[in-house]
Amino acid sequence: MDLLSDFFLAKAAFIGIVFAITLGIAAYSTYFERKIAAFMQDRIGPDRAGPFGILQPLADAVKMFMKEDFIPANSNKWLFIAGPCLSMLTALMTSAVVPFGDTVTIGGVTFDLQGIDVNIGILWVFGIVSLGVYGILIGGWASNNKYSLLGAIRAASQNISYELAMGLAIIAILLFSGSLSTKAIVEGQQNGHWNIFYQPLGFIIFLICAFAECNRTPFDLPECETELIGGYHTEYSSMKLGFYLFAEYINMFISGAVMATLYFGGYDYPGIDFVTAQFGNNIAVFVGMGALIGKALLFVFVFMWVRWTLPRFRYDQLMGLGWATLIPLSMYNVVVTAFGILIGKPFTAGIVGVVLLIGGLLIHDQLFVKKKIA
């Protein structure tokens, strides 16, 4: 393969842009997290660095770099350094298969706005997300600190538990698309046939699992301050800590993008035909990229919104929710979806499925649950 072909350069440029966007959004997520927290608590939030505090991420980065980079004496030095690197690496790798847009032609080169369209796209996301827990696990173990280790163990078991329900939720999506390729999944949802309308239950399951996979509140037990000091990053300081926090924000954005891809039509948006007819294909595709990023940012906002609303789960509640609630629910969802596709009415099946589920729960509640006395 000719490495310096126009196609290769275009892809390289696109990947560079995606990296820049991802990192920029992750940096500003820290700012918006603090701003949103402030607004939700009737405060003003950071406003000293620049107008409205928009230079706060820069100030934070400078602070992170200037701090002492401390490595505990009895830690495993190389793994201690490898932990945050691995976290950051896996966080950034996931964006490779997210289809940011349809095909564009720039300067005679036709290429997809997607890092790489592999036929195992969604499996790649899963693989990398599973690898992501290694960053936390290695960092926590290498710290040679009981709290760090506890945090790391929690992270590992939590991610494994919720990956099951997540995978089962995705199987229902795959029944529609018939392909693991993220591109094919998005193309199956064009013109408003978003999976959210067919998979409301699946989406809720996926959303909850995404919270757990990103270690966000209410599932942030690995870094639970009240019990574990800082969790897996107790011993970390300086930019190594910064990398862990940064990776979390990148994961948030990427999981938002993945959710938009799987359930909200990816780069589809209302009026795409009109924009294509008026301004040409390229503009329409770039607007679509904006739409995908907008949807992802909306999910980032939901992540933050939930964080500043809900308290943290207890660990047994977390495991109970994952194993005893979400996995049976997602199995039920797969069965309902398969049945809907079999009879050729997936939309009706989705609605009937939710109604039946709630009805069944109500009947179970009436028959078997002790009522409140008062």
Partner 1 sequence: MKLSNRTKVMEQGEMTLSERMYLPAIVGGMATTLKHFFSKPVTIRYPEQKRYLGPIFRGQHILKKDEEGAERCTACGLCAVACPAEAISMVAAERIPGEEKLYREEKYAKVYEVNMLRCIFCGLCEEACPKEAIFLRHDTMVPVFNSRDEVIYGKDKLVEKMDQRYLREGWK
| Residue ranges that bind partner 1, judged by CB under 8 A | 36, 38-44, 47, 204, 305-306, 308-310, 361-362, 365, 369-374
Contacts of 76 (CB under 8 A, 6+ apart): 141, 142, 144
Residue 216 CB, nearest approach to partner 1 (Å): 14
Return the number of the residue (274 or 305) whose C-beta is nearest partner 1.
Answer: 305
- 273 or 365, CB closer to partner 1? 365
Cα distances from 244 to residues 230, 247, 281, 360, in angstroms, run: 12, 5, 39, 43
Of 211 and 253, which has the nearer Cβ to partner 1?
A: 211
Angle at the Cα of 62 from the Cα atoms of 59 and 67, rounded to 5 degrees:
125
Query: Least distance to partner 1 from the beta carbon of 374, Å?
Result: 5
Residue closer to partner 1, measured from CB, 73 or 374: 374
Residue 314, burial from CB neighbour count under 10 angstroms (0-12, 13-18, 19+): exposed
Q: Are 216 and 251 in contact (CB under 8 A)?
A: no
Q: Considering the complex, state which of residue 310 and residue 355 has its C-beta at the smaller distance from partner 1.
A: 310
The number of beta carbons lying within 10 Å of the beta carbon of residue 178 is 11
Least distance (Å) from partner 1 to the CB of residue 295? Answer: 19
Smallest gap from residue 307 Cβ to partner 1 (A): 10
- Residue closer to partner 1 (CB basis): 77 or 364: 364
Question: Min. distance of Cβ 38 from partner 1 in angstroms?
Answer: 7
At closest approach, how far in Å is the CB of 309 from partner 1?
4
